[in-house]
Structure 1
Amino acid sequence: MIVPEEVANTVSERYPTLFSPIRIGPKQAKNRVWMTAHSTQLVKDHNFSQEHIDYYAERAKGGVGVITMEAMAVHPTTQPYKGKVFAFEPAVVPNYRKLAAAVHEHGALLLAQPWHRGRETSGKVNRLPVWAPSSVPCTVYREMPHVLTEEEIRELVQGYVLSARYAAEGGLDGVEVHGLAHGYLLGQFLSPATNHRTDQYGGSFDNRLRLVLEIIRKTRDEVGPDLIVGVRINGDDGDVEGGLRPPDWARIARAIADTGLVDYISVSQGTYQDRMRIYGAVPVEPGYEVEATEQIKAVVPELPVVATGRMTSPELAEYVLASGKADMIGMARPLIADAEWPNKAREGRDSDIRPCVGANWCMAAIVNSPLACVHNPSVGQEKTLGVGTLSRTATAKNVAVVGGGPAGLRAALVAAERGHRVTLFEKEQELGGQLRWIVKANTFREWGSIVGWLSTQLERTDAVVKLGTEATADQLVADGFDAVVVATGSTPLRHGWSMNHPYRWREGADQLPGFDQWNVITVREALLDEAQLGPNVMVYDDTGSRQPVVVAEYLRERRHQVEVVTTLPQVAPDLEASRDLQATHRRLRRAGITFTTDHEIGGVDEDRVRLIDVHTGEEQVREPVDAVVLILGNAAQDQLLHQLKGRVEVHGVGDCLSPRRIFNAIWEAELVARAL
């Protein structure tokens, strides 16, 4: 959403509406910043942990008005992974009390969010049948659900009742009934697309709403009038046949409000059939959910309504509130990126807010590990890396940082903030490293804010930045640096051999035939316009990463015909973890980019490319191919690191150790700089 210029120019530094108090039923929130629920994978034994307490307390200390904790299971059948709190078990009560004490200390309200995923899960973890109103499998998990009986529905309701009871006993401020939004179980009952029942819970609008209203009523009975009861609903299911659209959700919101039992409505979007409406990675624009949320607000003017959906800036938040489109601003990822977002906005320190760039590393991280942010190393590590944990050094060192990509910038910033005398050397004329390539594609331009933020913060220190300067081992030693952090990154491989041929990767082996031609280039050369490309370009990928997507879109924007060829069964499968695979494939295919999977290049002969099926060995020829862009992985640029060993205190960070991800580069830089 673009904030009108006349509004943007009148927003005060303190954002008066955003930081005004608001009544939510029996409680008052100190401001209108609402931290919405999101998974953390900090769960231990189906319960909250000390890491949870540190995590939520950090955001409360950072100035949020309300926190809804992550979705909590109301029944054993809703376990997509082991890291889920069982809200229906009394063991949560003592930890609720610890959480509430930690959050209340900073004046924030704290709510539980009982929920059931329904068909949008599998039974792999709990070894139980998947529950759903009808036997319709989810497009992601594809497991055939068990149709809930009326007895099991009563069991489900009792799970919500117990969850509300323990939230009250644990000293929380209220309960947010979840499962309506995102296509979860209660939403499955509401939607004609997934509810094919013929009993009292199916068919008519009132029947499909029956279970939701019963759970809300019993939740209110359980917690009484002194605690908040709210609901999380959708504003739009998305382009799903038979799904619920904004007018349908407005009708549902009005029916819920008519009960007189809820104190607010929090609005989101999407189901697992249209996941980018839930997670909103770039290029989804900030504020993309506001239009549908405004329709909800229009039909329930008496209730506070929470707007969500990439609410990335305080300027946008103030505009939405001041224009009456919603009453509170819900956000998760911006507060993951910067726990102090509210305090910084309130104090007029907008440029200090570490931006959420929509990379969705937070989503990718929780697949196999606790929550993390692509450029905030403290997430889930608040006790050791959080706000106020960076100590000044007792002995200032003369520190050289070599390389101005994300790793080098982070190392230089942290070392300078600790009081070391820092000089950063970058051989190029610009900072940014490989992020300079990525942001060439309009789709991923926001990622450049990682470098922008680091650079801005570094400028506020005493660090010296020397651009266009290549540091050598002899010079660094001669200049008397006490410590050197090597962040020299990596460079793209161009030998042509896929990972299916490890023997060919040995030093001194020949390139694949034709890969020394002028029209066979690397992703760097393509994105930095360092090569002349004809109309037909082949992007060849052996990594499964985001790079082929970036370069393919960049070239298509410049009117090239683009074919992506990959050795893998799918183009860019790594994007499944960040939840934007489906949306990205749709965007590229609609742009006219073609995909060829399960093939490797056998050779290039001028404008002819020979492709080989990796399973059958069958060959086919593409011609004319005016250029081939290679994405085969990178080689660590570790020469300087080895040259300095034994001559000075030296540390390697990021790709010069092993070419990986932005997160790893920044994480390692943080740890090394703290240890200097």
Structure 2
Amino acid sequence: MKPVYKEKYPHLFEPMVVGKNKVVFRNRALVAPIGSIATGGGEDSDGRINNYGIDTCMNYIRGGFASVCLPMEVPIDGGHEHMFNVNPKTCNQMNFQLLQRSVHAYKGLTFAELLHCGPFVNLEGYPRLGADNRISNGHEVKAANLEDMEEICRLFAQYAKWCKTAKFDGILLHMGHGWLFNDFLSPLTNHRTDEFGGSVENRCRFPLKVIKAIREAIGDDLLIELRLNGNDELSGGILPEDCAQQCLIFQDYVDMIHITCGNRLDAMARPKQHPSNFFPMAHNAYASEIVKKAGVKIPIGVVGAVYNPEIAEEILAKGQADYILMARAAMADPEIIKKAKEGREDDIRPCLRCNYCMDHGRREALTTELHLLGAPSYDRHCATNPLAFQSASKKRFPPAERVKKVAIIGGGVAGMQAAISCADRGHNVVLYEKTDKLGGQALLSDVMSFKKEMKLFHEYLERQVKKRQNIIVMMNTLATPEMIDDLDPDAVIVAVGAEQIVPNIPGVEKATMSFDVFGNEDKVGKKVLIIGGGDIGVELSIHLSSLDHECTIVEMGHFIAPKAQLTERISYIEVMQEKNVVTKVDTTCVEITDKGAYVENADGKQFIEADTVIICVGTKSLAEERDKFIDIAFDVINVGDCVKASSIVHAVHTGFDAGLTL
């Protein structure tokens, strides 16, 4: 068979030769450093990689990527707990050799990312270091002196030697995102008047000292890659033109550089650092293009919302970068590159860009600062991939003992995922959907421009259902106990979903229920009052504001979108501010009229005028519908919102688990 994939993706699948030793990357798609390889169950308590971690890395390599990258801190656990550790004094390196042999068998490459948290170090007895003396997030930051710099050079050189012993192919030095080296590189944080501040050249001086110390320690035996901010995304910070000058200074001492953005000085920059669905695809490609056009001679890469192979190919074909890096898209589907190579793009599981993978079980959401939870659970999930992170343990479940006949009631996300899971276990499935469309509540997202990833996901699930010959779909069919009894299945999976809550508010009948708005926006008046400031209420306000409606949200709790994860919630707040959405928290709606609604808060009772009042106070399980099927078969499993009105994560994982355990 000829390599037809090179006709569609000639640049993506072109090998890349890097460095004096002419190291070959088998294509232009690299996995960005992913901390959840470790915190998702892939490292033991001493920081060594375990079998789960090796399997995760190999999923990416077998899935077509040219390389993987393991994050490590200097010093170990300086700002995060549970990063990989390459220090042989505290962690033997035998398991790294297991990793290298597996990756190298596929002609893949391994990188160790080394970073110093600098102002964000959280290690007892170790100073928070930066370019300047200052207070940051309530903590004292000490301006690094020459002695501090020499010690850091020594530490990085030592870690580089350990990486060489562990047979890594390269080192990635993280010099972005507000960590120590970015603190020196950025005019936002570096106001020094000595030889390490002022001009771009001076601000590069300390990071360059570290690079030179590493190169002296390991020679040319390992590649050195840099991660640099093309834009700090904060006023007064690094811009692409500054980054280009930095690259011209560094290029004689490193082998490759990739461009990122964002600075953790302010959590409001996080949705740009890890771009949410409100940001365009490949949002850093403009910056990497500016760097390339400045005359940089080494390969320049780009990371950030490189969502699919088509976008990757476009970036490379336009000359905006020489290689691309993926993280979240790779977590959602580790085989994304392999599927593109095989012409199976329809089988690529999309990433929602919700950042659940980055934040859940790890970061505080109700904050304007970036810090870990006081007692992080590291309960890591991917919203669309039910086998990511700790869920990889489910791959060890035994196969089904026999083929079963399974009835699934409900064709929403949970029902479709359950059908796919059952079919892949070898069972014969009949899926009942009472409407003429599969997708359930996910269909509500179709009209919202910023929810296109959700549309892609439910369409992906529908394609997967239709591709499996052992799934029969019964559309426009309301399943009844009598119907299921006649089928006589071995198991029934109930995925009937949830219904909207109608609050006990006088005049509520004069309001519109939120689900009835989507697709009927032309019936909504100019002034809109939304009762309920959860995720759906927030998204509805953004959607309607984009259509020139004037929106106000009334939320009885203290926070808007209180159940959203950090990055998603910050995105919501930022976009609502841009759209001039008015929010009133700690406020209760007490009466709805034809002209608006009365609300009460600490300031007393007031009337808010509105052409349309929309009720958006959440959903509750369709318990009565669900319980009609109790004991209808030997196994009856409830999944999704009919168990607990929850999230897409709950729907995907409960649906998958139902099939996995039959």
TM-score higher than 0.5: yes
Shift of 1:46: 4.8
- 1:376-414 deviations in Å (ceiling 9; x for gaps): 01111475445xx78764522221111111100000111
Query: 1:14–1:384: structure 2 CA closer, same or farther, 3 Å change rule?
Result: farther
2:14 aligned residue: 20
1:464 and 1:529 mapped to 2: Cα distance? 32
1:131 aligned residue: 129
Letter in 2 for 1:534: G
1:54 aligned residue: 55
2:149 and 2:235 mapped to 1: Cα distance? 26
Corresponding residue SS for 1:439: helix
2:558 and 2:124 mapped to 1: Cα distance? 29
1:378 aligns with 2:387: yes
Query: 1:390–1:45: structure 2 CA closer, same or farther, 3 Å change rule?
Result: closer
Indicate conservation of the 8 Å contact 1:20/1:30, yes or no.
yes
Query: 1:89–1:622: structure 2 CA closer, same or farther, 3 Å change rule?
Result: farther
Corresponding residue SS for 2:447: coil
TM-score (norm 2): 0.90
Query: 1:381–1:571: structure 2 CA closer, same or farther, 3 Å change rule?
Result: closer
Letter in 2 for 1:513: P
Letter in 1 for 2:505: L
Shift of 1:592: 2.3
1:85 aligned residue: 84
1:61 and 1:77 mapped to 2: Cα distance? 30
1:624 aligns with 2:616: no
Indicate conservation of the 8 Å contact 1:14/1:348, yes or no.
no
2:142 aligned residue: 146
1:443 and 1:536 mapped to 2: Cα distance? 22
1:261 and 1:672 mapped to 2: Cα distance? 53
- 1:24-83 deviations in Å (ceiling 9; x for gaps): 21221111110011220234425034222121111111111011223x110257324x22
Corresponding residue SS for 1:69: strand
Match of 2:189 among 176, 185, 194: 194
1:478 aligned residue: 486
Map residues 134-213 of structure 1 onto 2, 5 A cutoff.
Answer: 134-138=132-136, 141-178=137-174, 180-213=175-208
1:523 and 1:102 mapped to 2: Cα distance? 51
Indicate conservation of the 8 Å contact 2:529/2:596, yes or no.
no
Match of 1:400 among 398, 401, 407: 407
Shift of 1:89: 5.9
Shift of 1:458: 1.1
Indicate conservation of the 8 Å contact 1:75/1:156, yes or no.
no
Query: 1:128–1:454: structure 2 CA closer, same or farther, 3 Å change rule?
Result: same
Letter in 1 for 2:61: A
Deviating more after overlay: 468-477 vs 579-588: 579-588
Unmatched segments (≥5 aa) in structure 2:
363-376
Corresponding residue SS for 1:362: helix
1:666 aligns with 2:652: yes
1:270 aligns with 2:278: no
1:656 aligns with 2:655: no
Shift of 1:122: 6.3
Query: 1:444–1:593: structure 2 CA closer, same or farther, 3 Å change rule?
Result: same
Q: How many residues align?
A: 632
1:461 and 1:228 mapped to 2: Cα distance? 45
1:89 and 1:390 mapped to 2: Cα distance? 34
Map residues 212-251 of structure 1 onto 2, 5 A cutoff.
Answer: 212-238=207-233, 240-251=234-245
Query: 1:448–1:67: structure 2 CA closer, same or farther, 3 Å change rule?
Result: same
Query: 1:89–1:184: structure 2 CA closer, same or farther, 3 Å change rule?
Result: farther
Map residues 53-72 of structure 1 onto 2, 5 A cutoff.
Answer: 53-70=54-71, 72=72
Corresponding residue SS for 1:422: strand
Indicate conservation of the 8 Å contact 1:122/1:143, yes or no.
no
1:469 aligned residue: 477
2:250 aligned residue: 256
Letter in 1 for 2:637: H
Indicate conservation of the 8 Å contact 2:422/2:429, yes or no.
yes
Shift of 1:158: 2.4
- 1:596-635 deviations in Å (ceiling 9; x for gaps): 122122222442422222xx4x423233223322232221
Shift of 1:86: 4.2
Indicate conservation of the 8 Å contact 1:525/1:531, yes or no.
no
Corresponding residue SS for 1:275: helix
1:4 aligned residue: none
Match of 2:279 among 257, 277, 284: 284
1:104 aligned residue: 104
- 1:306-345 deviations in Å (ceiling 9; x for gaps): 1222111212212222332221111111110111111111
1:498 aligned residue: none
Shift of 1:354: 0.9
Corresponding residue SS for 2:432: strand
Unmatched segments (≥5 aa) in structure 1:
1-9, 496-510
2:626 and 2:655 mapped to 1: Cα distance? 15
RMSD of aligned C-alpha atoms?
2.4
Shift of 1:276: 2.4
Indicate conservation of the 8 Å contact 1:74/1:114, yes or no.
yes
Query: 1:209–1:558: structure 2 CA closer, same or farther, 3 Å change rule?
Result: closer
Deviating more after overlay: 567-576 vs 405-414: 567-576
